Structure 1
Amino acid sequence: TGLSEIDYILVDKKSVPEMEHDHFSEKPLYLEKTRLCMSVPKTTRAIEVSDTPALRKGSICFASFQVPNKMTDSTLQLWANTLRALPEASMRLQHAAFEFDQAQQDIIERFSIHGIPAHRLQFVAGMSYSDYLAAHAEVDIILDTHPFPGGTTTAEAIWMGVPTISLIGSSLLSRQGESMLSCVGLDAWIANDEEHFVQIATKYATDIQTLNQIRRNLRQAALASPLFDASQFTRNFEQVVNDAWRQHLSK
């Protein structure tokens, strides 16, 4: 923040490597596993994980449930590179903003710059929370935004069995995807660069059985992970804050 009134910042080892302490005006306080935690989604009906839809459709549907403001030019170029590598694949873009034709047209025009025609894009407007979670049954793989990655949407996709490909960044926020995916054992879905991002997409898009196995196991992995362990996160948070307070009193 650069503010002298702020003493600490809560981080984890993925989001802030120790050699980057000097980048902060605050003192980093390291939470044991993750600085993020997600409660199990509460819905009006039980929503189970389904088989990946490519098994019945024969082609991959990528998706993003992010706000369009996160869809930077570099993000759309990365997504377009991915779609070009897989000519049969499509992309579902779902957000309340896509209720408006202008929001859709803006994305269509920006994709067209990179050679992706409108017929490969599907726009879906907002819906109830339960329906939003259920909509994950229609998509195979989430493509993350960059440098402003998903947070809650990434965790919700994990809960619904849909893995996200996320590009490593150079800041606390832009490493958020890396931090979350590593918590649930999806390290192979973390891309080191743009080329690696496309390689990951191609690998799993052409191995549907492996993709489906990951999908079927992901909710259980989530439940066993620090990302969904609110009790452990709370204990860790309390310990870190208490330690900081004792250090403050000892000065």
Structure 2
Amino acid sequence: MTPETLRQKLGEALKLQRVGKLDESDALIRDVIQFQPDHAGAHHLMGVSHMIRGDYDAAEASMNKALDVNPRMADAVNNLGIVRQLQGRADKAIECFRRALELYPELSASHSNVIFSLDHEPGVSDASAFAERRLWNERFARKHHLAAPPCLNDRDPERVLRVGYVSGDYRNHSAAHTFMPVLFNHDPRAVELWCYSTVTRTDNVTDAFRKRAKVFRDVAAATPEQLAEQVRVDRIDVLVDLSGHSEANRLPTFARRPAPVTVSAWGFATATGVDGVDYFFADPHSLPYELHRFYAEKVVMLPVAIPYSLPSGMPAIEPLPSLAGAPFTFGCLNRLAKVTDPCLGLWARVLTAAPEARLLMKDRAFHSAQVRLRVLDSFAALGIDRERIELLGPTPRIDHVKTYHRVDLALDPIPAGGGMTMIEGLWMGVPSLSLIGQHITGRLPSSLLVTAELGEFVFKTADDYVAAAVRWTGERARLAEIRAGMRERLKRAPYLDHIVYTRRVERAYRAMWRRWCAGLSPAPFVVG
């Protein structure tokens, strides 16, 4: 094969990979590797394929092969960081992301990955997290923001608003269940729904959003400049970022200020720090007023920050397993990336104080024997027998949720807790013990519990968290009662009242729009 043939094969493999045709893509990649075993690009693409499939050991091996050939391949270094993040090795992940930035300073995604990772790291102050965001802004946004042309939208303060939502998660992803409640319930007399999708592997959830939108644009291949120009041509009044610094974000487009009003919401728990984003939705519990100074956006307060839509086909609640003779079982179904060393230490304290109890953890990362061994070794070093820890890997969605049938009480990780994972657990009757964190990522879970009248599961100190865990092992009848009545309780929770929540969001958009029409700068406000 000629060099041109190799490039064509890998180009076709990349196209197939992006739309989820992994078997066909892998066949082309293997052809290239068979012909040229030291082809860095081929090994890198194979690593990405393994990562998509959830085989993180194989992904890491392929990435390392690529870097053995070409140590300066920034994309491979960045993706190796993502693999290590998924394996729960955040410190090693951040090293990779920063190294990728050194190799290719224009790789904004690597810097976003640093920010995303720091939001899950213990010991990172709000000031440090804010400074990292502002550094991203200086590197990738400020020059475009200053050069942005004025928006020429019709300044009628009361007309129907054309609202555009930009996301890489119009698909079967937990983030979609945080913005679906709003996008599916807009009043057409107030809002015209436009969607800008950066999704490449579409599915039935993508189709559902496509059917709801007045206009649904596939913009995965668009450059930041092209997307910004499309938004201007479409005359979007309010442009909403649903990805923040997560995968497939389009913050470089927001830096170009293509719409009069811009908002970041729901799909990413924390703010962006980007000058081109005007507003950020929060609630008083998850983001106290004294922390607003660490946000470049103007904070708009809602009764709850994020709504949630439960996946269809959720199974019925089953009785408390420990009342049927099983050992009392704590559980965590969050991503392993959230389970930090301090978190393992806290849970080891729980298991030491409750010697008859067990811990069940479940995540895609536990498909890896190396990852399982590392976690078991960590618990063993903290004095916890391996036999008391059960680690489960990936399963189909409904089977994943049915895992809660085996859990008596969930343990929320620290410093960044669960969102959709906690909601699913609650719907299955399983409350979580939550330690209030310093950052919004560590306060949102306690906000979910408090607004569902489950404040007794929220704690300010690790000692109280451990004591409560032990106490609940002896109060199984009451835990069973809470479990049985959980769904009726949750029906009163404001984050599941999608209509009321959406009307509040529409009032917020209207207030933002009126300010722009009046020539006023963005300002914080409260929507009751």
Identify the TM-score tier after normalising by the shorter chain.
over 0.9
Residue type at the aligned position of 1:18: Y
The offset of 1:2, in angstroms, is: 2.8
- Give the SS at the match of 2:510: helix
- Whether 1:39 and 2:306 are equivalent positions in the alignment is no
Percent pairwise identity: 29
Match of 2:283 among 5, 8, 12: 12
Match of 1:143 among 411, 415, 427: 411
Whether the 8 Å contact between 1:30 and 1:240 is mirrored in structure 2 is no
Q: Distance in 2 between matches of 1:241 and 1:169?
A: 30
Q: Distance in 1 between matches of 2:464 and 2:434?
A: 10
Superposition map of 1:92-171 within 5 A: 92-171=360-439
- Give the SS at the match of 1:14: coil
Q: Distance in 2 between matches of 1:246 and 1:203?
A: 52
Give the aligned CA root-mean-square deviation in angstroms: 1.3
Whether the 8 Å contact between 2:416 and 2:437 is mirrored in structure 1 is no
Q: Distance in 1 between matches of 2:374 and 2:416?
A: 19
Q: Which residue matches 2:442? A: 174
Whether the 8 Å contact between 1:36 and 1:180 is mirrored in structure 2 is no
Residue type at the aligned position of 2:291: E
Larger CA deviation: 81-90 vs 197-206: 197-206
- Give the SS at the match of 1:196: helix
Q: Distance in 2 between matches of 1:19 and 1:95?
A: 35
Q: Distance in 2 between matches of 1:213 and 1:99?
A: 35
1:13-62 deviations in whole A, cap 9, x for unaligned?
1111122222211110011x21111113202xx61111110101253100
Please tell me whether Structure 1 or Structure 2 has the larger radius of gyration of its CA atoms.
2
- Give the SS at the match of 2:443: helix
Q: Distance in 2 between matches of 1:191 and 1:109?
A: 28
Q: Distance in 1 between matches of 2:379 and 2:323?
A: 27
- Whether 1:91 and 2:359 are equivalent positions in the alignment is yes
Residue type at the aligned position of 2:470: T
- Give the SS at the match of 1:122: strand
- Give the SS at the match of 1:146: coil
- Give the SS at the match of 1:185: coil
- Whether 1:21 and 2:292 are equivalent positions in the alignment is yes
Aligned residues: 248
Q: Which runs of 4+ in 1 moved over 4 A?
A: none
Residue type at the aligned position of 2:403: A
- Give the SS at the match of 1:145: coil
Residue type at the aligned position of 1:37: P
- Whether 1:67 and 2:338 are equivalent positions in the alignment is no
- Give the SS at the match of 1:119: helix
Residue type at the aligned position of 2:402: A
- Give the SS at the match of 1:22: helix
The offset of 1:248, in angstroms, is: 2.7
Whether the 8 Å contact between 1:161 and 1:214 is mirrored in structure 2 is yes
The offset of 1:181, in angstroms, is: 0.8
Q: Distance in 2 between matches of 1:180 and 1:79?
A: 21
Q: Which residue matches 1:3? A: 274
Superposition map of 1:201-212 within 5 A: 201-212=469-480
Larger CA deviation: 152-161 vs 126-135: 126-135
Superposition map of 1:53-64 within 5 A: 53-57=321-325, 59-64=327-332
The offset of 1:197, in angstroms, is: 0.7
Q: Distance in 2 between matches of 1:2 and 1:131?
A: 38
The offset of 1:129, in angstroms, is: 1.2
- The gaps in structure 1 that reach 5 residues or longer are none
Q: Which residue matches 2:490? A: 222
1:114-164 deviations in whole A, cap 9, x for unaligned?
111100001111111111122211111110111111111100001100000
User: Whose RCO is larger (CA < 8 A, sep 6+)?
Assistant: 1
Residue type at the aligned position of 1:105: L
Whether the 8 Å contact between 1:142 and 1:165 is mirrored in structure 2 is yes
- The gaps in structure 2 that reach 5 residues or longer are 1-271, 521-528
Q: Distance in 1 between matches of 2:506 and 2:337?
A: 34
